Amino acid sequence: MSASEDFLKVARAAKEAATELAPLPRAPKDAALRAIADALVARSAEIIEANARDVVKARENGTSEYMIDRLSLTAGRVEVIAEAVRQIADLPDPVGEVVRGSTLPNGLELRQLRVPLGVVGIIYEGRPNVTVDAAALCLKSGNATLLRGSSSAYESNTVLVRVMQEALAGTAVPAGAVQLVPGQTRDSAKELMRARGLVDVLIPRGGASLISSVVQESTVPVIETGTGNCHVYVDAEADLDLAVEILLNAKAQRPSVCNAAETLLVHAAVADAFVPRALAALAGAGVTVHGDARIAAYGEAVVPAEEEDFRAEYLSLDIAAAVVDSLEDAVRHIREYGSAHTEAIVTRSVTAARRFVALVDSAAVAVNASTRFTDGGEFGFGAEIGISTQKLHARGPMGLPELTSTKWVYTGEGHLRTSEGTVIPSCGGASALD
Amino acid sequence: MSASEDFLKVARAAKEAATELAPLPRAPKDAALRAIADALVARSAEIIEANARDVVKARENGTSEYMIDRLSLTAGRVEVIAEAVRQIADLPDPVGEVVRGSTLPNGLELRQLRVPLGVVGIIYEGRPNVTVDAAALCLKSGNATLLRGSSSAYESNTVLVRVMQEALAGTAVPAGAVQLVPGQTRDSAKELMRARGLVDVLIPRGGASLISSVVQESTVPVIETGTGNCHVYVDAEADLDLAVEILLNAKAQRPSVCNAAETLLVHAAVADAFVPRALAALAGAGVTVHGDARIAAYGEAVVPAEEEDFRAEYLSLDIAAAVVDSLEDAVRHIREYGSAHTEAIVTRSVTAARRFVALVDSAAVAVNASTRFTDGGEFGFGAEIGISTQKLHARGPMGLPELTSTKWVYTGEGHLRTSEGTVIPSCGGASALD
């Protein structure tokens, strides 16, 4: 499939805008973000009207009321979206930060500077607030955005992008820095995935199937985000009161998010003391336990776990549970079935905590804390574009610095590299320095 | 194409070894590297014998003497390879470094630690020293390696890997940490490119066509390396004596490497004064100039440049050259034709230098210095796995830290996340902290 003219037009516009946007300092970017926030509020009637058309269509398609609620915009919700943009304007600018630097032995001044990535593609599902949030985070970090939202929010997204572009027209940031991929078909998503050379990175935000299809089909480099099969491991040395609290919080405080726990692993040494308490507490919170045979022995309400339960990201009031014979068995289970998002250990033992942290290969490891803290806001990033579960470029919550690359700059006074070392001809004739 | 059993066997062995290798501290890794170095020297007769079979085959295939020389191993060259391994053992271990860390307002202790990537695949051409060098750099950074070298060096690589594995057998590092992809067919390279889930990152080392085919075909994340169409831009405010020296050094000091200059851009304001001197100096160094019409006006020896000359990575005593009307035109030319490796500006003007650095979007920018300094050794990294020309994960010379990922670790004492902020049940009952 070759890209359509419509797609190439917006992708090239984004690339051109990225070139103009990249060298801008903080002040004009912040001013542009505030202009966007003001325009969203000023034009919220127009935005809500377009959104209403999406909602009507969703109702016709038999969409659930839960999803309709996620899709719907009100004046209050537009205000919240605008306020988030103002908060992004208040964050420090990652661009231009000197990441590393030194004066080399030959006198060259070497600096590694943070620079924007260029054009960031976002493929996402669900709520139209992502449209504004992603565009604002990219703009703040000096990147142009190519947005490809859910077709169910196409009318809303079209107006939101138009409002942002028109707000930018009065600022130093080129209006082309925020672009919506035209069309609502599957082809338009594929065009974005194949736009190597025009798009520098693609970030899918959504469910596991969206992410896996982007990873499979994209020739543009992808940052995988957000699938969370998080584990709580209750160690032989655990404080069992704490373990119950952490388990309940990790599972039930907000079950629909990626850092909620989906699997409980209990060391056999504390199973007799812990599992009955855990089952009672989980039942009290309305959680269904899908347990292996050793868990099932402690309660009649336990649903027998199939192997796929241990791979599941339920995002609901369900949890898989198993008894393990050692910390190493817990780690093996996590490696085998987990999604490398966040795993928690509850233990009083420094040795067990050290060992769990060393052996678990996930984006985040929590010691005596709920998995729910793996979050850009909790980590103090101020904003988050997603939680990376891959190992390249960014891992864990991604803030503004994760939307940047770097550039090496070295400054000399005529430094030449020779087989005998550096020579600087201007220093009173050719003088070898090293 | 599904992966062969032979391939899956070595890939799984590498993954298993990576799991054992990752948590090892520095000392056993360094001991393993020294054991490898010793074994290479002790068994150099065996290595040279296998290499001789590759050389015979290469001669039968009509390989050039230059390539035969690159392929050939001698006792002296094996000694050099072993010495490079010892130097890698002497470098600091990037694993375990705390990249960022803080105590959050709620008391959670947050650290971002450097961890190995896991299994690193290397697809490379040419010299068998890469086999050992890549394996040693990966081992030092806690990664297992899956090596897929040139079929012309298959006998040499087979023995080199066997010697390394047998040396590891007596150490704490699992012997499976170094693996050669079995088979010499194109399929074996494809198997490596499709081994998502078994291989964490793929680094191609070789010519532009190898790199581009890996980028197109790989479902494993790739780090692009090494294509260098580097530019020297002589600004209106340049010191022309320096400009001649930098141009000559960047082009002719070692023309076969990726950080050698391939294109000269001259500001129109200094063309009259500079181009005749540059042409004379380049001719004196045996360099053929492929110039646009404005360059050709200054010398009869100038070969008319086609558009592809400006895209070429000659790696020879050739250079493309053009006159530009402004610094911005130079930047546009570089964006259009360059490979985003290294671009140099020669100027006395701080303003021009700042502007060039801000506008050029390449891995490295040199101010009044030769492009030849873009190099891990020159930057003080001690070793280099390649020079990344992409923006994700690593950009520019890649040392040991670029072969790692990170992991977030947070430690609390029962920290729970609630809608009212953090709660720690053990602190004398449920107390909201923030």
Residue in A366, A407, A416 closest to B245 by CB: A416
Mean pLDDT of B327-339: 97
> Does residue A232 sit in helix, strand or coil?
strand
Statement: residue A115 has pLDDT above 70: yes
Statement: residue B433 has pLDDT above 60: no
Statement: residue B48 has pLDDT above 50: yes
| Range scoring the smallest mean pLDDT among B147-156, B203-212, B280-289, B423-432 | B423-432
Sequence-distant (≥ 6) Cβ neighbours of residue B299 within 8 angstroms: B275, B276, B279, B289, B291
Average predicted confidence (pLDDT) for chain A:
94
Structure confidence at residue B211 (pLDDT): 85
Structure confidence at residue A236 (pLDDT): 98
Mean pLDDT of A34-58: 97
What letter represents residue B44's amino acid? S
What letter represents residue B165's amino acid? Q
Number of residues assigned to chain B? 434
pLDDT digit string (tens) for B141-197? 999 999 999 989 999 999 999 999 999 999 999 999 999 999 877 788 899 999 988
| Range scoring the smallest mean pLDDT among A215-224, A323-332, B78-87, B110-119 | A215-224
- Chain B residues in contact with A215 by the CB 8 A cut-off are 196, 219
Q: How confident is the model at residue B1 (pLDDT cuts 50, 70, 90)?
A: low
- Chain A residues in contact with B344 by the CB 8 A cut-off are none
What letter represents residue A64's amino acid? S
Q: Are B367 and A396 inside 8 Å of each other by CB?
A: no
Statement: residue B277 has pLDDT above 80: yes
> Does residue B106 sit in helix, strand or coil?
coil
pLDDT digit string (tens) for A134-171? 999 999 999 999 999 998 999 999 999 999 999 999 99
pLDDT digit string (tens) for A411-432? 999 999 999 999 998 754 444 4
Q: Which sequence spans correspond to the domains of chain A?
A: 5-225+400-407, 230-373
- Chain B residues in contact with A246 by the CB 8 A cut-off are 414, 416
Q: How confident is the model at residue B430 (pLDDT cuts 50, 70, 90)?
A: very low
Mean pLDDT of B348-377: 97
What letter represents residue A248's amino acid? L
Q: If we measure between CA atoms, which residue out of B198, B159, B172, B136 comes closest to residue B10?
A: B198
Mean pLDDT of A199-223: 88
Sequence-distant (≥ 6) Cβ neighbours of residue A346 within 8 angstroms: A232, A233, A234, A235, A238, A239, A242, A243, A246, A247, A368
Structure confidence at residue A219 (pLDDT): 85
Q: Which CATH superfamily is domain A5-225+400-407 in?
A: Aldehyde Dehydrogenase; Chain A, domain 1 (3.40.605.10)
Q: CATH top-level class for B230-373?
A: alpha beta
Average predicted confidence (pLDDT) for chain B:
94
* Gap between the Cα atoms of B394 and A270, Å rounded: 45
Q: For residues A100, A106, A109 and A113, what is the CA-based torsion angle, rounded to 10 degrees?
A: -40
Say whether A230-373 and A5-225+400-407 share the same fold.
no
- Minimum distance, in Å, between the CA of residue B362 and any CA atom of chain A: 7
Token digits of residue B389: 């020309």
* Gap between the Cα atoms of A319 and A262, Å rounded: 5
Structure confidence at residue A270 (pLDDT): 98
Statement: residue B345 has pLDDT above 70: yes
> How much of chain A exceeds pLDDT 70, in percent?
97
Half-sphere exposure of B305 (CA within 13 A, CB side): 27
- Minimum distance, in Å, between the CA of residue A301 and any CA atom of chain B: 26
Q: What ipTM does the predicted assembly reach?
A: 0.93
Q: Are B365 and A407 inside 8 Å of each other by CB?
A: yes
Structure confidence at residue A427 (pLDDT): 58
Mean pLDDT of B70-93: 96
What stretch of H or E contains A165? Answer: helix A154-168
Q: Are A379 and B104 inside 8 Å of each other by CB?
A: yes
| Range scoring the smallest mean pLDDT among A217-226, A353-362, A404-413 | A217-226
| Range scoring the smallest mean pLDDT among A46-50, A190-194, B102-106 | A190-194
Statement: residue B429 has pLDDT above 60: no
Structure confidence at residue A206 (pLDDT): 81
Statement: residue B127 has pLDDT above 90: no
- Chain B residues in contact with A370 by the CB 8 A cut-off are 415-417
> How much of chain B exceeds pLDDT 70, in percent?
97
How distant, in Å, are the alpha carbons of A91, A230, A353, B126 from that of B152?
54, 47, 49, 8
Mean pLDDT of A185-202: 89
- Tokens 């987990």 label which residue? A338
Best B21, B248, B259, B416 member to test A by mutation, with max A CBs in 10 Å, is: B416
Eight-class DSSP state of B305? P
Residue in B365, B391, B408 closest to A117 by CB: B391
Q: Are A408 and B374 inside 8 Å of each other by CB?
A: yes
Asked if B180 and B10 touch (Cβ cutoff 8 Å), the reply is yes
* Gap between the Cα atoms of A413 and A426, Å rounded: 7
Q: Are B364 and A19 inside 8 Å of each other by CB?
A: no
Structure confidence at residue B427 (pLDDT): 58
* Gap between the Cα atoms of B347 and B240, Å rounded: 9
Q: How confident is the model at residue B23 (pLDDT cuts 50, 70, 90)?
A: very high
Beta bridge partners of A367: A345, B411
Eight-class DSSP state of B190? H
pLDDT digit string (tens) for A331-358? 999 999 999 999 999 999 999 999 999 9
Higher pLDDT, A368 or B206: A368
Residue in B108, B372, B395 closest to A417 by CB: B372
> Does residue B168 sit in helix, strand or coil?
helix
Q: How confident is the model at residue B205 (pLDDT cuts 50, 70, 90)?
A: confident
Structure confidence at residue A1 (pLDDT): 52
> Does residue B430 sit in helix, strand or coil?
coil
Angle at which helix B26-42 crosses helix B44-60, to 10 degrees, equals 70
Q: Are B221 and A392 inside 8 Å of each other by CB?
A: yes
Eight-class DSSP state of A317? S
Asked if A112 and B379 touch (Cβ cutoff 8 Å), the reply is no
Residue in B23, B221, B368 closest to A358 by CB: B23
Residue in A353, A408, A415 closest to B363 by CB: A408
